Structure formats: structure tokens, C-alpha cells
A and B are shown apart, each in its own frame.
Chain A
């Protein structure tokens, strides 16, 4: 009982920044500047959300839609490429296997700074600069290595007998992979999809560097732009923050078991 009480106190302290941002988004600007600060909104103000639906450069719902499109695109690319790749690495022993595995490991720790300028030049030459495609292509490079490394453990843990039984039933390598192995590795595929989505959703550097026009930019870049132009209009800024957190919160509520699995299996060998 005592431990449960302590754990709730820890929870309140650690999640206070989130609570504070949430209630600030519901306060009037006047109440935000009130001294001493109010710990819940005395006057409920939904203006900071409503105003942004209607007009302005900083329509956060359009930014939200941009982010969503970019993140889903990056997730689709990452999963489509990583699922077969991790299967190949887990189940076959070909010559370049070690080099390829190592290259996925290395790319996972690269800083964005190394890639920004060359990617910038590349996307200009490909004529995708300042389109959502540039952000999708760049964001997928975060999801792919992560997904390959996670999924290879899932595929490696599937016993060979299952695969061989599929061959006896008349499957070839590709149909066995699609009909038997992918369904078994489904929890792993979910982990990859969720993390690829979260990585892309949280990206600022790529979205900000490769997309110039505010109306095409993801929501993170929208927040950053807004800060630059309007400084500290905190009710609007925190409303922006709350909207950005919504998909993260939904993923957390409905898919929590995959989160723990993704956070741990990437770092500690199984």
C-alpha cells in the first residue's frame, strides 16, 4: 500500500510537465500570466484550439494532417522493406550477411547532421525538395534499420520445422514467407510499424530542412515556426503540443505492450 502511494507520487511529479502543458492550453492568456499561477484553469478557454481550425498560417490541423501523411508513408516504406530484409538475415547464411547486418547497426546511430546537407542536395536534384515525399524518404531511413534489427530476432525464433512443414504442403520460399512466417511474426511487425511511425512523427530536422512552405510542413516544424514568429503565445503553443501528443497517447493506450517490447529488444539481446 505504501509503495503504491509512493508510486503515484512519483507518477505525478514525472508527468507534471504534461499536465501543465495541457491546462495551460485551456487557460486564457490573461490567466497564464496570473501571479501566483493557477493549477487548474479557472476560466475554461477553448479559443486556442478553435482559432487554429479556422484560418492562419499556423493551422495546426493541417500540420497534423501533413505529419500524418508523412509518418504513414515512412512507416509503409520501412515495414515493406524491413520485413523481408530481417527474414533474409535471420534465416539465410549468405556471404554479405554480416556486412549488411553491420551496416544496419551503424546507420541506427548516425546523427542527422551528417545526412542533412547531402540529402538536401539530393532531394533538390530529384525534384522532391519542398514536398512531403522528401520527408517520407528521409524519415524511412530511421525506421528501416530499427525494424530490421528488431524483426530478425522474431524470425530467428520461429522453428525451422514450421517452415519445412509449409514446403511439404506445397509452398515455395516466397509463399511460405508470406503465408506462414509473416503471420507468426506479426507482433514484431506491429512493433516496427509503431516505432517507425513514432520516429517519423517526432522528427523535426528532416521536415524542417526539406520542406520550405509552412502549409506543407509537419506539425513539429509548425510548432517551431510558431515559436519563432509569435514567441510566447503560450495558450496556442500548448494547444499545438496537446494536438501533437494525441496520436502518441492513442498508441500508448491501445498498444502499450508493443512499446515495452520495442524499447527493450532493440538494446538488449534476446
Chain B
């Protein structure tokens, strides 16, 4: 009995170490989440945000959303943007990881420098791509003109379809290093002997890739794709700085539309409802993420 008591006390000490961080997150993240859910069931605008009575209108904000064309566009945009970004950054990142996995003098230093795009503040990335895709002075239009692919400058950021394309390019640029480095790390965990015995058995490169590399990389690929989905799906800064959802709402994502509703149109409750839709989708994907990252965790 005494021993059990002792163990209990010992473990309580552990909780004291965690408590400050936990309470901080509870106050500044936990409480806001609850508050945001409540907000989405109320009727809050600039007039009654901080003070004043807030009426509960239950699901009115949500049912209004599904009749809202911009919301539907944002939802669809977020989905296709995420999927397209994931496909390209994963494929390019994978190829680069395989490439830098070869033994050559510059492999390590160059791979290191390629991480820089991931570290740069997204606002700056957005600015750089705005410059590249600029209509008159943009270097992309210049290259396309020189190659005689186009005869007239494309207005990338003010034409709906091409604005989305520019956004995806910028996001892929940020995502490549992330995919590359995670897959590189995954590759180093594959025992060399496996490749040696495969080559003794007469397997060619393509066969070893599909029968050894891919199956053994499965856990890495899973976490890369799930994390990539989460990071891309909640994109905010990049779109807000590059297009602000324009032209004519064609590049709005759930996050930017939520921001616009709350902080430009002051429809706080409706903005919260959009944010909650985003949250629910992320949480569903997050369940997979938690499963992948905590698999094999002791107890």
C-alpha cells in the first residue's frame, strides 16, 4: 500500500513539470477553440463582439454557408489546391531524395542548401512569386515569350485559373524541401544489405525500387503525406498575400474566406463557422496523423 502511494506521488511530480505548458495551451488554445464553437452558433458582429448580448441562432450560420457560393468555391479550392500541391511536391521531393541519396561530392551540401525555401517566411515567398508571375516585368512571362510559347503577356494573378496555378507553384516550392528531407531520412533507415542481396539475386533497379524501397518507406510516406495534407489544407499567409482570395473570390481557401468574413466584413460568427468546417476536416485527417506518429509508442 505504501509503495503504491509512493509511486503515485512520484508520478504526480511528473505532472507538475507538464502543467505550466499544458495550462498555457489550455488558456490560449483550448479556450479559444471552445469560444469559437460557441461563436459560430451565435449572431456576433462588430457591434456586440466584445460587449453586449449575443443571441444564439443555432445552426443558422452553418445552413447559410451551404447556400453561399463563395463558401462552396473555397471548400472546393482548398481540396483541389491541397491535392495538387501534395502530388507535385511529393513526386519532386521523392525524385530529389533518391538523387541526393547517391554518393557524390556535393550531395550533402547541396541538399542542405535546398532546405532554405522551407525556412523562409511565407509572406516573403508569396512576395517573390508575385514578382516572378508579374504581368509586365515578370520573369516567367519573359521566359515563355522568349520560347515563343506565348505572344502576349499572361495576367497570371488576375485571371482565375492561372492565379490558382501560381499559388500551387509557390506552395510546391515551399513543400519540396520538406518532402525531400523526410524521404531522405527514410531512405537512410533501409539496410544496405537488402540492396546487396537483391542485386545478387539479379534484381534490376526498377525491381528493387518497387520491392524494397517503396514497401520499406511506407511509414515515412504515410507521415509525409498526412503532415503535408494538414500543412497545405490550412494554408493562409501564402494565399492571403498573393491573391487575397481574388480575382472575384476564385482563389479563396477556407482559411482566407474565414478571415475575410471575420476581419474585413466583421461577420465574426459566420467566419467562425467557416473556420470550424476547416477544423473538423483537419481533425478527421489528424486522427490518421496521430495513429501514424504514436504507433509503437510505449504504453
A residues in contact (CB < 8 Å) with B: 1, 3-4, 6-8, 10-11, 14-15, 17-18, 20-21, 24, 32-33, 35-37, 77, 81-82, 84-85, 87-89, 91-97, 100-107, 109-119, 121-122, 124-125, 137-138, 140-141, 144-145, 148, 173, 177, 198, 201-202, 204-205, 209, 220, 223-224, 227, 232, 234, 237-238, 240-241, 244-245, 248-249, 251-252, 256, 259-260, 263-264, 267-269
Contact = CB atoms under 8 A, between A and B. Distances in A.
B35 A121 contact: yes
Contacts of A248: 116, 119-121
B39 A106 contact: no
Given A7-B104, A124-B50, A223 B124 contact: yes
Interface in B1-40: 10-18, 20-22, 24-25, 28-33, 35-36, 39
B11 A92 contact: yes
Nearest to A124: B50
A108 to B, nearest CB: 9
A160 to B, nearest CB: 13
A148 B122 contact: no
Contact of B128 (A10, A21, A106, A263): A21
A contact face: mostly helix, strand, loop, or mixed: helix
Contacts of B13: 92, 173
Contacts of A269: 293, 295-297
Contact of A141 (B28, B224, B290): B28
A7 B106 contact: yes
B291 to A, nearest CB: 11
B18 A37 contact: no
14 contacts: A7-B100, A10-B114, A92-B14, A95-B15, A96-B15, A101-B294, A105-B293, A106-B290, A109-B234, A113-B254, A122-B31, A138-B28, A223-B123, A244-B123
A96 B26 CA distance: 14
A88 B15 contact: yes
Nearest to A226: B127
B275 interface: yes
Interface stretch (B160-168, B207-215, B255-263): B255-263
